[in-house]
Each structure stands twice: as structure tokens, then as C-alpha cells.
Amino acid sequence: MTLDKVTGHLSKNLPEGQVYCHVCPHACKLAPGQVGACRARGNVDGAVVPLGYGRVTSIAVDPVEKKPLARWKPGHTVLSLGGYGCNLHCPWCQNHEISQVGEQGVPWREVLPEDIAALAERLHAEDPRMAGVAYTYNEPLVSWEFVRDCAELVHEAGLANVLVSAGCVNAQVIAAVAPLIDAANIDLKSFSPATYRTCAGDLATVQETIRMLAAAPACHLEVTTLVVPGVNDTREEMDELAGWLASVDPAITLHVTRFHPAYRMRDRGPTPVPLVYELADVARAHLAHVYTGNC
């Protein structure tokens, strides 16, 4: 029987050496040596290990507006880090080269949290508009221990932490990182549980993440919905989605963004720009801060 120190879940009644991962709703049952559906965690010697810990595939200084964050430190930049792996499998993923692969699928290099914090400090000294570190590009929370360890050191250096995530992880993981996050952008991909299931995700879990981050006193929260033609492009769905966000907190900022064909979804064109504007107007009936993107 194994106790997960974060979630408090017990892996019991499993054959010798097998263990559950409780980071996300997949609850992967992992045999020794097996890697989970996210490709970033696996069973090593009977324990779930974040295999993607410190394995950085992408690093860049980005404007905060690119995360996107519209109402948090405008004109600033963040040191943006990506690893590999994701627990969702969206056919339209723009970052599938790093999100839908494991350690063999993309070049990475090992970086320590100390190195990240030191680099951020140096960049901030060179340009005070460099505000901190963003955990982004792939799903950072499948390696949430690395986010936590970097974020603690980044805070000690007096800099900020930004989380860009699909938010489909269990509440205990959000509770562990939320106090360290100064700004977050969470994808709300749809307001349909069925659409979430096609991406291997879970709407209710993402809703709980949004509720928790909206309630986190020090966290500025923005949300992004990519409008995909034929998937989530009706006025009714946007009305429901924005109405729910407003019920959580009417101050939440929503980005309504335009799909472009990518990865396994090349059978349709980009979202018509007038439709993005129309759906943003639908959202504005509920929320004061609605932005369009990729138009």
C-alpha cells in the first residue's frame, strides 16, 4: 500500500509494484517502468516519479501579453519555460511537438530550479520589466513538483510566477501551487463535458481549478477559450461558459481566441474573425473584461 504525500490517496489492493498516480483525473495505474498517459510521470521502483522534472524543451523571454495576460503587469516580460507531456490530447494542439511526446520525442536539457531562479534574477537586473518566470507551452502541472520548486526560489528572489495551464489536475495539486502563483491563465476549452472527453479531459475538474485560483488571494486569474469551428462555436455555449465564469467572479478576464488548423485538426479552416468578435460580445453580457486573440 502506497501513500501519495500530496493527495493523501492510498494505492491499495494493487499487484506488487503497481501504483496509481493521483495528479489528474486519469488516475493512471502504473506497472513498474510504465509511463502515464501524460508521458511525463511514471512508476520507478514502485513510486510515481515526475520524469519530466527539470527537463526543459523550450525557454524564451515573452511579453506577458503573449501568455496571454491582458490585465497583469502590461508591458512586462516573463522568462517562459516549457517541458514535455500533457494529460490532455486535443486534436487542435498548437504545441503538440512538445505536449504530445515523452522523453524520447523531443530534445530537452536538465535545468535545476536554482538555475532558473538565478537566470530570472539576472534578466531582471538587466531589465526591471522582466517580471519573473512563466510555466507554460506544454502542461506544466504534470511536472508540478518542478513548478513548486522553481516558484519558491523565484519568490525568494522577489520575482513573480505565472502559470499557463489547462487546469485539469486534482485539487490537491492546485492547493499546493496556488499560494506561489501571482498570475494564471487557465484554458477553458469548452463548456461541454462531452467535448472535454474527446480531449481526455474533465470539465468539472477544470471548473474546480478556476474556482480555486479565483479564490486564491494573491493570484490574478485570466481564462482562455479557443473557439474551434464545429466544436464550441455556438452563442449558447459561450453564453453558458461566460455566465458561469461571472458566477465565480465577474472580474475574471476572458480571452476568446481564434483557431488555426494544427496537429490532427486540418479538416477545417480558421475560425471566421466575425464569429470570434460575435462570441466575445456574447461573453461581454456577463464579464467586464473580454479580449479577442489570434485575429
Contact (Cβ atoms closer than 8 angstroms) between residue 24 and residue 31: no
Cα 199 to Cα 196: distance, rounded to the nearest angstrom: 5
Q: Which is nearer to ligand SF4, 212 or 251 (CB)?
A: 212
Taking the CA atoms of 38, 40, 41 and 42 in sequence, report the sign of the dihedral they define: positive
- Is residue 26 a contact residue for ligand SF4 (CB under 6 A)? yes
What's the distance, CA 136 to chain centroid?
A: 7
- Give the interface segment with ligand SF4, choosing from 9-17, 22-30, 99-107, 246-254 (CB under 6 A): 22-30
Number of residues that bind ligand SF4 (CB under 6 A): 12
Position among 120, 142, 256, 283 found at the interface with ligand SF4 (CB under 6 A)? 142
182: Cβ contacts below 8 Å, ≥ 6 apart: 72, 132, 160, 161, 162, 218, 219, 220
Least CB distance to ligand SF4 at residue 28 (A): 3
- Is residue 123 a contact residue for ligand SF4 (CB under 6 A)? no
Position among 4, 11, 19, 24 found at the interface with ligand SF4 (CB under 6 A)? 24
Q: Which of residues 56-115 bind ligand SF4 (CB under 6 A)?
A: 87
* DSSP-assigned letter for residue 265: B
Position among 11, 19, 41, 216 found at the interface with ligand SF4 (CB under 6 A)? 41
Across the chain, the runs of DSSP E, i.e. the strands, are 2-3, 10-11, 19-20, 29-30, 41-44, 47-50, 55-56, 58-63, 77-82, 109-110, 130-135, 160-165, 183-187, 220-227, 253-258, 290-293
Across 73-156, the runs of DSSP E, i.e. the strands, are 77-82, 109-110, 130-135
- Is residue 206 a contact residue for ligand SF4 (CB under 6 A)? no
Position among 4, 11, 19, 37 found at the interface with ligand SF4 (CB under 6 A)? 37
- Is residue 168 a contact residue for ligand SF4 (CB under 6 A)? no
- Give the interface segment with ligand SF4, choosing from 34-42, 59-67, 102-110, 124-132 (CB under 6 A): 34-42
224: Cβ contacts below 8 Å, ≥ 6 apart: 68, 185, 186, 187, 188, 254, 255, 257, 293
Q: Which is nearer to ligand SF4, 177 or 252 (CB)?
A: 177
Contact (Cβ atoms closer than 8 angstroms) between residue 85 and residue 38: yes
Count of beta carbons in the 10 Å neighbourhood of residue 43: 23
- Is residue 21 a contact residue for ligand SF4 (CB under 6 A)? yes
Position among 11, 19, 38, 56 found at the interface with ligand SF4 (CB under 6 A)? 38
- Is residue 28 a contact residue for ligand SF4 (CB under 6 A)? yes
- Give the interface segment with ligand SF4, choosing from 20-28, 56-64, 210-218, 273-281 (CB under 6 A): 20-28
Least CB distance to ligand SF4 at residue 173 (A): 9
Least CB distance to ligand SF4 at residue 53 (A): 13
Q: Which residues bind ligand SF4 (CB under 6 A)?
A: 21, 23-24, 26-28, 36-38, 41, 87, 142
